[in-house]
Amino acid sequence: MGRATAEMLARSGAKVAIFDLDDETGQATADAIGGDFHQVNVADHVAVVKGIEAAAARHDVARIVINCAGIAPSARIVDKAGSPHVPETFRRTVEINLIGTFNMMSSAAAAIIAARFEEEEAGVLINTASIAAFDGQVGQAAYASSKAGVAGLTLPAARDLAQHRIRVMAIAPGIFLTPMMAAFPQVVQDSLGAQVPHPQRLGKPFEFAELVRSIIQNPMLNGEVIRLDGAIRMAPR
């Protein structure tokens, strides 16, 4: 979804900077779209600030920021053998999914404010939540908690930044054909897609990117979490 969004923005004329830990994939994507790549751990506040400064030195201050980084480990709070959820797994999930989102959002907003843009709209920050924030399944305690945090961050962040003419939105995708999903057998993909009321299939990354485009173009979209899920409501498992 992040790559599809980067491609959409580049086609639309934006100067795109990609932040990722995977330097090989990140650089290849940047080369393909004519953007630039910065190896950044979003969970590290100092690394984020340095990345934002480096990107600004190449392309000026970013006014559109899309947060897509995330991990989704599966673990029950207490497993079948009676062992508790590993605290480090929970902590790492929150650090990347929630704190990483916050680091990018707060640092990017500070850079936008410092630039003193004079237009009616100074910038827009779009974060990625998940339907797991609302329909968390068995084994998703860490993931659902982190994504619920992203959803809960949306309105107060939009209110905090309104005086600076910066919008904050979040997208909560359903079951999408991501690289992780593509690794599953086709029969598993088909079974998951069949659970979606309509359209009865997995979501496509370009559909996420198209919602990003709509949010950017519509200045009245602010402080809201939009479910992009084909009307699915996840069962407990």
Active site amino acids: 143
- Give how far the C-alpha of residue 146 lies from the chain's centroid of Cα atoms, to the nearest Å: 12
Is-contact 209 8, C-beta < 8 A?
yes
- C-alpha–C-alpha distance, residues 26 and 139, integer Å: 30
Q: How many residues does the chain have?
A: 237
Separation CA 128–CA 67 (nearest Å):
6
Find the DSSP H helices in the chain. 2-11, 23-33, 45-59, 87-94, 100-115, 132-135, 141-161, 179-182, 186-193, 205-217
* Geometric angle at alpha carbon 38, from 32 and 177, rounded to 5°: 55
60: left (phi over 0), alpha (psi -120 to 50) or beta: left
Residue 64 CA to residue 35 CA, distance in Å, equals 14
Q: Which pair of structure tokens corresponds to residue 87?
A: 């605290």
- In single-letter form, the type of residue at position 195 comes to Q
Q: CA 226, CA 173: separation in Å to the nearest integer?
A: 8
